[in-house]
Amino acid sequence: MRELAQLSRRGLYKDRSPEVIPIPAEPNFIGGETTLVHSGPWEYLTRVPWIIYGPGHIDARGDIGTPVTMADLAPTTAELIGFDGYRAPDGKPRTEGLTQRGTPRLVVTVVWDGGGYNVLNHYPDSWPFVSKMMEEGVSYTDFSIGSNPSVTPSIHTSLGTGAFPRSHGVVGLKMRTQDGAYVNPVGGSDPARIMVPSLSDLYDRALDNKPKTGMLGSVSWHIGMVGHGAAFQGGDRDPVALLEHERPVVKTNPSFYSLPDIDAPGQLDRLVDETDLEDGERDGKWFDRPLETQKDISKTPAAVRYNRVLLERMIEREGFGADRIPDLLYVNFKSMDLAGHAYSFLSKDMPRLLEAEDSALRQLKRFLDAKVGKERWVMMLTADHGQTLFPKDSGAWPIRGGELAADLNRRFDPSADGVDLIDRVGASGIYVNTDQLEDVTLNEIARWVGDYRLSENLKDSEEVPGYYEGERDDRIFDAVLVRGKLVVPSCEG
C-alpha cells in the first residue's frame, strides 16, 4: 500500500489535484459499468514496456531488472544524444547497454497507447518483432509509469520532461483551475500549463534550434512529449501533427508548432480497402467492425498502417536524421487504446491490432535503415498504461462517483447555501470546496470514505449484480490519502 500511495503522491500538483484520493480495492474503479477507465496505481495499469533498440548504439543486453520509471526516459535519451548537462526534475539516465560509439542521428520514441504488459502478456504471440527488439536491445522488465493517475496526458508529459505530475503539473484528463473550472490541461494543444520544459525544449534551444524535434500523435494529450515549441523562450515552431479521429486530416496549433505536409488521403483510402478485404469480403467492414467513418477506422489496422505512412513521410519531408546533429521524434499509436475503451482488450480486435502495430515497427526499422542509415538511429518503445476490463469480466464494482459525492454531501454538508462541499468525484479523486469546510476536516471525510460500503453506492432497492465477486457489505476502497498523506492506510477489517 505504501508503494501505491507513493505513486499517488507523485501525481499531485498543488490546487490542480483532488484533496482526497481514495484508492479503490482492486479491481474496483471509479467509473461506469460500460465506461472503461484506466486511472489507478495498480500494476496492471502501471507496468509497461520500455525497450531501447538500435544496432550500433545499443548492446544486446536483453532483460534488465533495474527498477525504472517513465521519468527516466528523457534523461536516458539525453545521454544517448550526448546532451551533456541535462538534469531531469525527477528521472535519472539509465545507461545499461548503451554503446558509446558515436551518437545516433535520430532517436524515435514510440508510444503504444494502452499497450501495457497486461495486454501484451495476454497475447504473447502477437508481437514477434518487439520480442526481437527485446532480445537484440535492452528491455527493462521492472518499468513503471511512476505515478497515478495512469492517464494519457500525465504520462506522456512525464515521458517528455523527465518529471512526474508533481513537477510538470499535468495531473489528469482534467485539472482544476484557480477559478474552480475543470479543463483539459493541454486543451487546444496549448502547452502553457506544462510547468517544466521538456527535453526537446532545452536541447533544441541549447543548439540554437538546429536539431529537429517533433511529434506525430492524435490528440492534444500527447504534446507533453515534445514540449512547448515556440512558447518556450528561445524555442521555435517544431513540427507537430495530430491525426484527427473524426476526420482523416492532420492538424496542429500554429501559434506554437508548424504543421508538416504529410497528409495522404489517397493512401488512407487504399489501406481501408485492404483492411476491408482481410476477412475475405468487400463489405465495408473489418470482420464485423464498420469502416464507415474516421472514428470507425481509428480502431482498426487501417489507422495503424496510415500512422506509419504519415510517420515515414514526416521523417523524409522534415529531414529527421539527415545530418550529424541528433534529432528527436516522438510518435503515438492510438488504435489499441481506442479499441480497448470500446470493446476491452479481451475482444478479438486486440491481437489483430497488436500484430498490426508490431508489423508497423518492423517496417519502420527497414525505412530507417534505408533513409537514415544503418547504425545511425535508435528506437524506443513504451506505453502509457495498461487496460481495464469490463466489470462483467473482472468482477469489479464500478464505483459511482456521482452517488459517492451525493452521499458525502448528505453526510457532511447539510446546509442549503447552494454550494456543495464536495464539488466533484472523478476517477482521480474527490475535489472539495475547502472554503466550505467548517465543522469537518479533510481527514474526517477520508475516514468516512475509507468505511464506505458497496451497499451505500447502490441505487434504492438495487441488487448487487451477479458478476461482482464480493459481498454487499464490502468496503470498496483499500486506502485514502489527503493531499498526499496516507490517512487511511488500509480499509480492511
DSSP class of residue 221 equals: G
Q: Which three cell numbers stand for residue 16?
A: 490542480
- Nearest residue to 158 via CA among 192, 193, 191, 198: 198
Residues 6+ apart with CB under 8 A from 269: none
What's the pLDDT at 492? 58
d(CA 54, CA 52) in angstroms, rounded, equals 7
Contact 331, 361 (CB under 8 A): no
Whole-number Cα distances in Å, 17 to 20, 195, 395: 9, 14, 29
Q: Which three cell numbers stand for residue 150?
A: 495512469
- Nearest residue to 209 via CA among 194, 230, 193: 230
The stretches of 372-427 forming alpha helices (DSSP H) are 391-394, 401-412
Q: What predicted TM-score, i.e. pTM, was given to this entire model?
A: 0.96
Residues in the chain where the model's pLDDT stays below 70: 491-493
What's the pLDDT at 491? 60
Return the number of other C-beta atoms located less than 10 Å from residue 352's C-beta: 21
**DSSP helix/strand/coil, 355:** helix
Task: Quick: pLDDT tens for 98-107.
Answer: 877 789 999 9
Phi, psi dihedral angles at 70 (to 5 degrees): -60, -30
CATH number given to 43-387 = 3.40.720.10
Angle, helix 301-318 to helix 349-371, in steps of 10 degrees? 20
Q: Where in the chain is the domain with CATH 3.40.720.10?
A: 43-387
Long-range contacts of 459-464 (CB under 8 A, 24+ apart): 459/403
Q: Give residue 235's Cα distance to chain centre.
A: 25
Contact 391, 468 (CB under 8 A): yes
